[in-house]
Structure 1
Amino acid sequence: MKYYLVYSELSQQPDSAHEIHDVMCANAMANLGYKTILTYPNYSQSNLNIGSLFFPFHLQKPSSNFIEFYDIQDQLNVLPLLIPKLIRKGINRFNLSSLMCKYYLPIYLKNKITAVHTRNWNFAKAAVKNKIPTIFERHYFPENKFDQAIVNNPYFRVCISQSELTRQSIIDAGMPTDKAIWLHNGFNQTFLERNSDDAETWRKQLLKNNRKKLVIYSGALYPFKGIDLLIDVAKLLPNIEFAITGGTEEQVKHYQTIAQRKQVENITFLGWIVPRSRLISLFQAADILAHPHLSGKSANFTNPVKFFQYLASGTPIVATEIPPLMFFKQTVPVAVWCPPDQPSIFAQSIQKALELYPRKSTGYQENIEYSQKFSWEKRAEKIVKYIPELHHDGESIQP
C-alpha cells in the first residue's frame, strides 16, 4: 500500500494559519478516500525512543489534542518523525532539512508514497530528485529564482499559489506557466453542522450591557488584518458588541491594551479557541462576521481560510474590497462590501448589513449552499488531477 504524503512543520501553537492549511489539505485527501499521511518533525519524543530514528514508519491516528486543535476527521494518518536531542540542541534549517530530505525521505518514505504535497521547497526538491510526483505550494512572492532542473522535471507536477498576483510572481521567478496555478483555500466540512444551543450560549456569554447585536472577527491578530481598524469601528458603534478570536497570548494582551487606551468597552478578545470546533457555533452566534483586511502588499496574496468558514456558517459578512476577494463581491449572496482602511465606512457597512440581513438561527441558506464549492475537499479534487498515479480506496467523506 502506498500513500499520499503531506509534509509540514507543525508547532500546534496559535497563530499558525499555514500549518492549519497543510493539515486541512491532508485531511481533505483522506476524506476523499485516498490513503493519506501527514508527516512532520517531532521535537517532543524522549531520547529513549531512539529506535524511532531507525524504524520510523509507524503510522498513528491523531491524538485527541491534535484533533481538537485542528478540528479534523478520523480518516487521516499521522507520522511524526523523531528529531534526536543531539540535532535539536543545535537545530537549524540546514540540519533539519538534511535529516528530512537526505535521510527519512529517500531511505524510509520513498517506497511507501505515491506523491508528496508540501510548502517546503527543500522537501519538494528532494521528492523530485527521488522521482516522486510532487505538489508544491508557494503562497508568497518568491525571493529567489526557481531551480529550472527541478521545476521542468516531469515529477514536479504543479506549483499552487493563492492569488493571480502571486501566480504571476511565481512565473516571473522561473516557474513554467503550465505548472503555475492558483486555488482558493477552503473550509472544513464541520462548519456546515448547525448547533443552535451552543450558539445561544455564546450570545449569552458575549452580549453585555443590554446590547443585542454581535459582530465576530476570527483570524490572526496582525495590523494588516484590520484589528486596529475594528477597535475603532467598535468605538463608533457603542451599542454593538464585538468579539475577536485568534492570536497569541502576547498579541491578545497588546490589543486589549490598545482597546483600553482608546476606552473601547464593547470589544472582547477571546484568544485562541480550543477545541477549534467551538468556532462553528461562535460564527453561528454572530449577527455579522467581520473581514476588515487592510490594503497594501499583504492584501495581494492573502486567501483567508476564515472567509470560507464565514460563508459556510451562513452568517452575513461585512468585508473589505481586497484583490483576492473581489470575485466574491459579485457572487456571495449575503454580504456587504466596502473600501479598506476606513473605520467609518466599515461601521456604516455593519449597520447596513444588520438592516438588510437580520440574524437567522438557521443561517442564510444562500451563503451555505454557495460555500460548498469551496470546501477543502473540492480544492483537493482539483489537485488530484495532477497525480494520476493515485488510487482511491473507495471510501470518502464529502460535504
Structure 2
Amino acid sequence: MNNNPTNKHYIFFINEQLPKPAAHLVQSTNAANGAANLGYSTVLIHYQKGREAMNPWLLAHPFQPRKPSVELVKYYNLQDKLKIANLPMPWPIDSWHNKFTNSNTITTKYYFPFHILPHTKIVHSRNWNFIKAAIRNGIPAIYEHHHHEDKKFEPEIVKNPLFQIAVTVIDTIRDSMIKNGMPPEKVITIHNGFNSLFMGRQPEKLTTWREKLLPDGRDKLVVYAGALKQFKGIDILIDVAKEMPNVQFACAGGNSEEVEHYQQLTKDKQVENMTFLGYILHDELVSLLQAADILAHPHCLGKAATFTSPLKLFDYLASGNPVVATEIPSLTEFKNTPAIAAWSEPDNPTKFAAALQQVLETHPKKIDGYPEIINFVKQFSWENRATKILSYVNESFLPPLIL
C-alpha cells in the first residue's frame, strides 16, 4: 500500500456514468470542481460502461486519474485542476438484479479496498454505501444528503470518529436526518453554489442568443433553466406565457421526451411565444442566462417545495439578471436581499405574470448585469462552500494542497 500522504487525494464519488443532464450530477461535479480550485488534490470518480469498460488493462488498473474530457468540461463547466477517474463496469454489471453483479457491490467490495483506498485521504459522496465502505476501511468521510428518506443511519457509521460531517442544503432535510439517527452535531446546512465561470461576461454570445430567440415584434426575453418537471412549475410557466404574448419565453433543460411533451402542450394551449431548447451545455448556458431580461424561478407547492435546493438560483444570480421566483420554503431566506427582484404566490400564473411585468418595467436590460445582484451572489461560490465544509474536518484528515 502506498502510504505517501502527498499521493493521496480528496475523492468525490458518483455512482453513475457521466455526462448526464441531472441536477444532482451538476451539484456533485461542481462540488468536486470547487474543491480542486482551492488547490486540493481532488479526483472525481464515476462509472464507465459500454465497450470501453471491457478493456482488460483498465479492469486490472481502474484508478487512473487524468484531466476531464472536453465533453465533461463543456457539460459541467469544469476547470483544469480537477482530475477524473472512470471505474469500468462491463456487462453484465447492473444488467441482472443480483447483488454480485451490482455496481455498488463491485465498487465497495473490489474497487475501493484494492484500488482506491491506497490513494485516498478523504472521501465525499452522496452514495451511502460508498461512505460506509470508506469508514469500514479506515478512511474519513463527508456525506451529502439532499432529499427526505425513511432509512435509518447506522450508529456504528455516524458515530465513528472517521465520519466527519453530513451536509444538506435546507433545514427540513437536516431535521429528518436527525430523526433518522444522524447526530445533530454531525449535520450542517449549507447552500449549493455557482460556478465561477458564470461570472465571466459574454456580450457577443449574449447578443447571438437574443438574435436567435427573439422574433420580430418581441424584444423581451424570459429564460427558465432547469428540470422540465410539473412540480418545478413548467406547466404554470406555459400559462404565464399565454398571458404575456408580447414576451418571448425560453426553457433550457429536460430530456428529449420531456421536451417533446411540453412542445406539444404549448401547441395544445395555442402558446406561440415559448421555445424549448433541451439540455444546454453549461459553457453555453452562461451566455443564455446573461441574454435574458428576466430569469424565471417558478415552483409548485407540495413536498418538493420543502426541500428543493435552489441550485439554479445561484447560476441565475451570477448572470446579474433579475429573478422572479415563487414563494416556497427553500427560498424564503432570500427575502429582503438583492437576490429576488419580485415574488409570486405558488400555483398562480396570473400573479407570476404580474410579477414579471412589474420587473420588466423596473429593471431595464443591462448588458453587464446588475452589480448589486452579482456582488450578493459572490458569497455562494462552490469554492466558498468547500471551504466551509472542510472547516468541519479534522485537520489531520485534510487532503494535500498542490497549489
TM-score over 0.5 (shorter chain) = yes
Q: Which amino acid aligns with 1:30?
A: A
Q: Look up the match of 1:74.
A: 80
In 1: Cα distance, 2:53 partner to 2:398 partner = 36
In 2: Cα distance, 1:252 partner to 1:305 partner = 21
In 2: Cα distance, 1:171 partner to 1:142 partner = 11
CA contact (8 A) 2:310 2:331 kept: no
The 5-angstrom pairing of residues 311-326 of structure 1 reads: 311-326=317-332
Q: Which amino acid aligns with 2:204?
A: D
Q: Look up the match of 1:152.
A: 159
In 2: Cα distance, 1:209 partner to 1:228 partner = 25
Q: Look up the match of 1:393.
A: 401
| Structure 1 residues not aligned, in runs of 5+ | none
In 2: Cα distance, 1:236 partner to 1:152 partner = 55
The yes-or-no answer on 1:253 pairing with 2:298 is no
The offset of 1:51, in angstroms, is: 2.0
The 5-angstrom pairing of residues 317-336 of structure 1 reads: 317-332=323-338, 335-336=341-342
Aligned residues: 394
Q: Look up the match of 2:270.
A: 263
Q: Which amino acid aligns with 1:332?
A: P
In 2: Cα distance, 1:367 partner to 1:347 partner = 22
The yes-or-no answer on 1:293 pairing with 2:299 is yes
Q: Which amino acid aligns with 2:363?
A: Y
The yes-or-no answer on 1:197 pairing with 2:226 is no
Q: Which amino acid aligns with 1:311?
A: L
Moved more, 80-89 or 64-73: 80-89
Instruction: Look up the SS of the partner of 1:87 in the other structure.
Output: coil
In 1: Cα distance, 2:187 partner to 2:387 partner = 17
The offset of 1:178, in angstroms, is: 0.3
Moved more, 80-89 or 177-186: 80-89
CA change 1:134–1:45 in 2 (3 A) is farther
| Structure 2 residues not aligned, in runs of 5+ | 1-6
In 1: Cα distance, 2:78 partner to 2:112 partner = 25
In 2: Cα distance, 1:342 partner to 1:233 partner = 9
Q: Look up the match of 1:55.
A: 61
Instruction: Look up the SS of the partner of 1:303 in the other structure.
Output: coil
The offset of 1:77, in angstroms, is: 0.7
What's the CA shift string for 1:68-103, capped at 9, x where partnerless?
A: 111110111111011132435426666211110011
What's the CA shift string for 1:207-257, capped at 9, x where partnerless?
A: 113101100000000000000000000000001000001000000000001
In 1: Cα distance, 2:202 partner to 2:320 partner = 12
Q: Look up the match of 1:378.
A: 384
The offset of 1:47, in angstroms, is: 5.8
CA change 1:188–1:359 in 2 (3 A) is same
In 1: Cα distance, 2:363 partner to 2:20 partner = 32
Q: Which amino acid aligns with 1:374?
A: F
CA change 1:287–1:47 in 2 (3 A) is closer
What TM-score does the superposition give when structure 2 sets the normalisation length? 0.95
Instruction: Look up the SS of the partner of 2:45 in the other structure.
Output: strand
The offset of 1:57, in angstroms, is: 2.3
Moved more, 40-49 or 3-12: 40-49
- Residue of 224, 229, 235 corresponding to 1:228: 235
In 1: Cα distance, 2:301 partner to 2:20 partner = 24
Instruction: Look up the SS of the partner of 1:10 in the other structure.
Output: strand
In 1: Cα distance, 2:338 partner to 2:41 partner = 34
Q: CA RMSD in A?
A: 1.5
Instruction: Look up the SS of the partner of 2:343 in the other structure.
Output: strand
CA contact (8 A) 2:15 2:104 kept: no
In 2: Cα distance, 1:20 partner to 1:92 partner = 29
What's the CA shift string for 1:264-310, capped at 9, x where partnerless?
A: 00000011113x21111111110000000111100111112210001
CA contact (8 A) 2:325 2:344 kept: yes
CA change 1:334–1:147 in 2 (3 A) is closer
Q: Which amino acid aligns with 2:374?
A: I
Q: Quote the sequence identity (%).
A: 46
Instruction: Look up the SS of the partner of 1:350 in the other structure.
Output: helix
Q: Look up the match of 2:90.
A: 84
What TM-score does the superposition give when structure 1 sets the normalisation length? 0.96
